[in-house]
Amino acid sequence: MARIGVITFPGTLDDVDALRAVRLAGAEPVSLWHKDADLRGVDAVVVPGGFSYGDYLRCGAIARFAPVMDEVIEAAGKGMPVLGICNGFQILAEAHLLPGALIRNDHQRFLCREQRLRVESVSTAWTGLFEQGEEITVPLKNGEGNFIASPEDVERLEGEGHVVFRYVGLNPNGSVNDIAGVRNARGNVVGLMPHPEHAVEPGFGPDSPTGPRTGTDGLRLFQSAISMLVGA
């Protein structure tokens, strides 16, 4: 059975939700602590959402220097699947595992809503079970989710197919080109601002065509990684 670690930093809010998502997807969830320079032999890592270290300085700027992140950076360089969700995306950007940066929402407000996304890249460790161009719905909740990058980096992201998710219907934070999530060149590291771990179980997810609170689109991100690991 694949083992997927979920890191907890001071201020992390969604680690328990991510651990549950891993378990529902069919892998063994493993709790990882920010102070420990040890990934405990996991096959993949999730850096979950929240407000690590109170978001002092910049979101993710302190967490990037936690001992566990040195291990994540090294493992990602060797091809380990790594998923950053919301604050986790911010941390991966601060660690230079992903391009760009996340700044304050253009409307200067925290926003929580069900968000439509379009899957732009299925050639990643976390999106292999989606269809190219498929639209999904997952919750979004952030105050600093505005993705920015230099014009050169945006051109490269678009030209090389490294945009993974794009906002549909509404750009909730002003992100350039409606970008909701990106990948590294290898495709093993993915970051997105919306929260797939909140759309993994009927009765607790967003609304879907089958009824209120029935959406489970987020589960496939975790199942995609498991499928890749098991098949490797």
Residue 57, Cβ density class (10 Å: 0-12 exposed, 13-18 middle, ≥19 buried): exposed
From the list 104, 86, 112, the residue with the least C-alpha distance to 190 is 86
Q: Catalytic: 112? A: no
Residues with Cβ within 8 Å of 166's Cβ and at least 6 positions away in sequence, in order, are: 117, 118, 120, 177, 178, 179, 180
Rounded Cα distance, 195 and 184, in Å: 19
Residues with Cβ within 8 Å of 33's Cβ and at least 6 positions away in sequence, in order, are: 7, 8, 68
Q: Catalytic: 135? A: no
Do 20 and 62 contact (CB within 8 A), yes or no?
no
34, 59, 120, 195: the catalytic one is 195
For residue 19, CA distances in Å to 22, 25, 160 come to 5, 10, 32
94, 197, 198, 201: the catalytic one is 197
Residues with Cβ within 8 Å of 138's Cβ and at least 6 positions away in sequence, in order, are: 114, 115, 117, 194, 195, 196, 198, 199, 205, 206, 215, 217, 218
86, 162, 198, 201: the catalytic one is 86
Do 92 and 126 contact (CB within 8 A), yes or no?
no
Rounded Cα distance, 107 and 137, in Å: 22
Q: Which amino acid, residue 173?
A: N
Q: Catalytic: 195? A: yes
Residue numbers annotated as active site? 86, 195, 197
